[in-house]
Structure 1
Amino acid sequence: MAETHRVPLAEVTPAIALGPLDGRYHHAVAPLVDHLSEAALNRDRVHVEVEWLIHLTSQSVLPGAGPLTEDQQAALRKIVTDFDGNAVRELAEIEAVTVHDVKAVEYFIGRRLGGIGIEHLTSMVHFGCTSEDINNLAYAVGVKGAVEQVWLPAARALVEQFAAMAREHRDVPMLSRTHGQPATPTTLGKELAVITHRLNRQLDRIARTEYLGKINGATGTYAAHYTSVPSADWQAVSRSFIEGLGLTWNPLTTQIESHDWQAELYADMARFNRILHNACTDIWSYISIGYFAQIPVEGATGSSTMPHKVNPIRFENAEANLEISNGLLDTLAATLVTSRWQRDLTDSSSQRNIGVAFGHSLLAISNVAKGLDRLSVPADVLAADLDQNWEVLGEAIQMVMRAEAIAGVEGMENPYERLKELTRGHRVDAERMKEFVSGLGLSHDAEARLLALTPGNYNGIAGKLVDHLK
């Protein structure tokens, strides 16, 4: 075979993405870039360093370093708000020399102090800090922003879609299937409400997440702080600074903040993902039996060879992305709670994948939302299925017989066994079921209740249960 010469795609400009989140699906996950990308992490590092410098001077912690003017503080904060592509490139150039990302941030800020008129405070940048003091806070700020401003609003909007569908279809009768077999009927709205309720519980847990942070030195002892400025209340300085960032102060750490809060958050997100995955597989199955119909998209192709098909691709895509997201979330939750002695760097590599885990979950949420928008409910299909399964009334009849026996009505012996003989392995139509009921010798009221019963109205208070949705 002749040797093939190909253009090296890695050299194509603009750059071609290796992963789908930065390529094919970029539009769906782009909002996360401002919180969980490498550039966002560096901007948040700059933010933490700048705020630490302002905090130290405003607290007059170091003798001779009085409060900055409002203009000086504003100029420092402008380093963060003006952080752009040029800043990203400059940081990369500095890091190429330092071979240390946080040290590069320190030098990046130091370069700008002269223009603000505070070059004499250059030695205060990164004062008393180990790299992890900056990193843990930058990650906390980034993850908090990603959850509260991007992921959680998208997830809540999706759950509200489920809730709206539950309310709309609260009274649409539907055959249940336990173990895949016809079972006591329900309503479509009630089943959608179950999904909604489950997802909402996880979102409530996620909304209550504590984002912990620490700034206490190389091994969490404030040793350098108290040695250099013994008069300061460094715990109070640390706590007020971290709480000022909108985080929760962790008073007891090694060199790293222990990341337990991250593990808790990712476990909750993974549980949300799993419940949503369960919803996707159920909806896919309901589509396959006609309980949901998919509204075709004008001009779209369902199958490359079978023109009649409209494939449930949104839900299948979501399943795959939820599984990938959970693979990463589970790994992060398991890995981040462990650190050898006072510090190892496994967390550093692991945390660089947080954005990928969030991205696949956000992409799945987007796909499910689009999939739900293209569903309709053919109530006649659901009704026809119910009418083919009169045997599901066997539960109701035998329970009424039990109640009648307790009330002293004769002839109600062995209700379960008699209904099993009638219904198991047999299709029972309306006429045969009514004939059976009429021959039982029930009290007048009990017989009337059962004769009025159909598979379509034997669903208890299913519709009313939808009212439990908040």
Structure 2
Amino acid sequence: MSLNQLSAISPIDGRYRSKVESIANFFSEEALIRYRVMVEIEYFIALCELELPQLPKLSQDKVNSLRNIFKNFSLEDALAIKEIEKTTNHDVKAVEYFIKDKFDALGLEKHKEFIHFALTSQDINNTAIPFSIKEAMNEVYVPLFMELTAFLKTLVKNWDDIPMLARTHGQPASPTRLGKEINVFVVRLEEQFNLLNDIPSAAKFGGATGNYNAHKVAYPRIDWRNFGQKFIQDKLGLSHSFPTTQIEHYDHMAALFDGLKRINTILIDLNRDLWTYISMDYFKQKIKEGEVGSSAMPHKVNPIDFENSEGNLGIANAIFEHLSSKLPISRMQRDLTDSTVLRNVGVPFAHTVIAFKATLKGLNKLLLNKPKFEKDLEDNWAVVAEAVQTILRREGYPNPYEALKGLTRTNDRITKESIAEFIDQLEISEELKKELKNISPSNYTGI
């Protein structure tokens, strides 16, 4: 059976494929192979720059031709490598053989044994995968995150002067402003995003057990640690992990996944709040012609985008959690569990992208129902009791909290009139009574 959107097992390759096409450029099998080819080619070029007697001094044209192997990498190239892998039963070795074939065409056949020279497969994987994650973050995740936070900031500005009844424990509480409540999420998101910028994109590069054993025995006079550090940092723009075992220790990668998980958790919180506000009729939703809200109830317009986002964020976080807790653990100098787990690294990114887009779609549908905000405030005059008792405290009035408690903790509905009557019977100046009566649920919103 040929793979298409209806035969795919995972919805990110099926139902949601169009939403995550950009992610495939970094995390598909073809992409991983391309990144491996890139590392192998750049490594060979770096070896030639050492001016070893057994290696040629490459002209710029020859360097460009070598780099075109990965820059012009195609699906056909990836399929050719997979065909080689059927024989080698080793994915990185298949990449090496593929590049050796390319060397024949470039007149470099005498130097083919310096492809993958003194390396282990993890030197390739533990550079290719961090490089792919870094590029995916910069080219897909960050722009989408910025788009989402920019839209939220627009809502903060547009809704800054919309007073809203707050609810703590689900009960009416001191009023707030809608813009401020959205801004809470903006600040939380940005603070966690800033922490991501402090996390290095780390890569391992040091041979079979991290000690450059094979490198040193072949060329003992070369400072291989310095070479490895410059290769990783200057050529690939990553951070060199040293010392390591055969594999990267993944601590920084785990920190990245934990940071992404926290951002997703904040968005789950936002989605649930907006879902609740819609259920409270604070927002209507734009209706798209032809859409169906329920197969049985024609009147329904469901908050499906926020629900979709919440579900996808939950799946993303479950996988990010496993990655961050599993990857830093490996038996002695290495076991293979990191390899099979890392093949799924694109999955939580894909679900995160789907979620971000769903939240944005939901936000774009929101229609402010201002009369509902006003009605909820007007129906809950009891919330000004805090303001009244605080001012009475300021004035030294005896037992103000207890006085207001007696008024408000009844089953009788508190209204503007009952508050005014309470104020009128207080033994305070007329000026202070006027000050208290000027407080309303809609203007008692703080700073």
**TM-score range for the pair, normalised by the shorter chain length:** over 0.9
CA displacement at 1:334 relative to structure 2:
0.3
Structure 1: tracts of 5 or more residues without a match: 1-9, 406-411, 462-470
Task: Classify the secondary structure of the residue corresponding to 1:20.
Answer: coil
Q: Give matches, 1:354-433, under 5 Å.
A: 354-405=345-396, 412-425=397-410, 426-433=412-419
Q: Give matches, 1:64-103, under 5 Å.
A: 64-103=54-93
CA displacement at 1:236 relative to structure 2:
1.1
Contact 1:214 1:253 in 2 (8 A): yes
Task: Classify the secondary structure of the residue corresponding to 2:242.
Answer: coil
CA displacement at 1:66 relative to structure 2:
3.4
Task: Look up the match of 1:310.
Answer: 301
Q: Does 1:289 align with 2:244?
A: no
Task: Look up the match of 1:119.
Answer: 109
Equivalent-residue separation in structure 1 for 2:309 and 2:346 (angstroms): 17
Contact 1:404 1:443 in 2 (8 A): no
Equivalent-residue separation in structure 1 for 2:306 and 2:197 (angstroms): 26
CA displacement at 1:276 relative to structure 2:
0.2
Equivalent-residue separation in structure 1 for 2:334 and 2:143 (angstroms): 35
Q: Give matches, 1:261-272, under 5 Å.
A: 261-272=252-263
**Change in 2 beyond 3 A, CA 1:13/1:372:** closer
Contact 2:254 2:325 in 1 (8 A): yes
Equivalent-residue separation in structure 1 for 2:6 and 2:29 (angstroms): 16
**Change in 2 beyond 3 A, CA 1:13/1:418:** closer
Structure 2: tracts of 5 or more residues without a match: none
Task: Look up the match of 1:242.
Answer: 232
Equivalent-residue separation in structure 2 for 1:126 and 1:87 (angstroms): 18
Equivalent-residue separation in structure 2 for 1:137 and 1:444 (angstroms): 76
CA displacement at 1:420 relative to structure 2:
1.0
Contact 2:285 2:367 in 1 (8 A): yes
Task: Look up the match of 1:458.
Answer: 444
Task: Look up the match of 1:5.
Answer: none
CA displacement at 1:445 relative to structure 2:
4.3
CA displacement at 1:449 relative to structure 2:
2.1
Equivalent-residue separation in structure 1 for 2:232 and 2:126 (angstroms): 11
TM-score, normalization by structure 2: 0.97
Equivalent-residue separation in structure 1 for 2:111 and 2:261 (angstroms): 45
Task: Classify the secondary structure of the residue corresponding to 1:17.
Answer: coil
Equivalent-residue separation in structure 2 for 1:450 and 1:295 (angstroms): 41
Task: Classify the secondary structure of the residue corresponding to 2:130.
Answer: helix
Contact 1:401 1:442 in 2 (8 A): no
What letter corresponds to residue 420 of structure 1 in structure 2? K
The match for 1:140 among 116, 130, 133 is 130
Q: Does 1:186 align with 2:180?
A: no
What letter corresponds to residue 121 of structure 2 in structure 1? S
Greater mean deviation of Cα atoms: 423-432 or 185-194: 423-432
What letter corresponds to residue 418 of structure 1 in structure 2? A
**Change in 2 beyond 3 A, CA 1:394/1:98:** same
CA displacement at 1:63 relative to structure 2:
2.4
Task: Classify the secondary structure of the residue corresponding to 2:161.
Answer: coil
Task: Classify the secondary structure of the residue corresponding to 1:360.
Answer: helix
Equivalent-residue separation in structure 1 for 2:414 and 2:60 (angstroms): 83
Task: Look up the match of 2:196.
Answer: 206
Equivalent-residue separation in structure 2 for 1:286 and 1:311 (angstroms): 12
Task: Look up the match of 1:441.
Answer: 427
Task: Look up the match of 1:347.
Answer: 338
**Change in 2 beyond 3 A, CA 1:286/1:12:** closer
Task: Look up the match of 1:166.
Answer: 156
The percentage of counterpart residues that share the same residue type is: 42
Equivalent-residue separation in structure 2 for 1:445 and 1:236 (angstroms): 78
Contact 2:271 2:306 in 1 (8 A): yes
Equivalent-residue separation in structure 2 for 1:228 and 1:21 (angstroms): 47
What letter corresponds to residue 338 of structure 1 in structure 2? I
Task: Look up the match of 1:280.
Answer: 271
Q: Does 1:50 align with 2:35?
A: no
CA displacement at 1:12 relative to structure 2:
6.8
Equivalent-residue separation in structure 2 for 1:446 and 1:273 (angstroms): 48
Q: Does 1:217 align with 2:204?
A: no
**CA deviation string 1:30-78 (max 9, x = no partner):** 1010111111111000000000000110122x32313211111111111
Runs of 4+ in 1 over 6 A off after TM superposition: 12-15
Contact 2:6 2:14 in 1 (8 A): no
Task: Look up the match of 2:12.
Answer: 21
Q: Give matches, 1:219-234, under 5 Å.
A: 219-234=209-224
Equivalent-residue separation in structure 1 for 2:401 and 2:211 (angstroms): 71
Contact 1:314 1:370 in 2 (8 A): yes
**CA deviation string 1:230-289 (max 9, x = no partner):** 111101110110012010111210100101111000000000011100100110000001
**CA deviation string 1:160-188 (max 9, x = no partner):** 11111011100100000000000000000
Task: Classify the secondary structure of the residue corresponding to 1:421.
Answer: helix
Task: Classify the secondary structure of the residue corresponding to 1:394.
Answer: helix
CA displacement at 1:15 relative to structure 2:
7.9
**CA deviation string 1:391-440 (max 9, x = no partner):** 000101111111100xxxxxx21111111110113321001101111222
Task: Look up the match of 1:59.
Answer: 50
Greater mean deviation of Cα atoms: 389-398 or 202-211: 202-211
The alignment yields a C-alpha RMSD, in angstroms, of 1.3
Task: Classify the secondary structure of the residue corresponding to 1:21.
Answer: coil
Alignment: residue pair count = 445
Equivalent-residue separation in structure 1 for 2:3 and 2:210 (angstroms): 46
Contact 1:29 1:362 in 2 (8 A): yes
CA displacement at 1:136 relative to structure 2:
0.3
Contact 2:5 2:13 in 1 (8 A): no
Equivalent-residue separation in structure 2 for 1:438 and 1:253 (angstroms): 77
What letter corresponds to residue 21 of structure 1 in structure 2? I
**Change in 2 beyond 3 A, CA 1:216/1:13:** closer
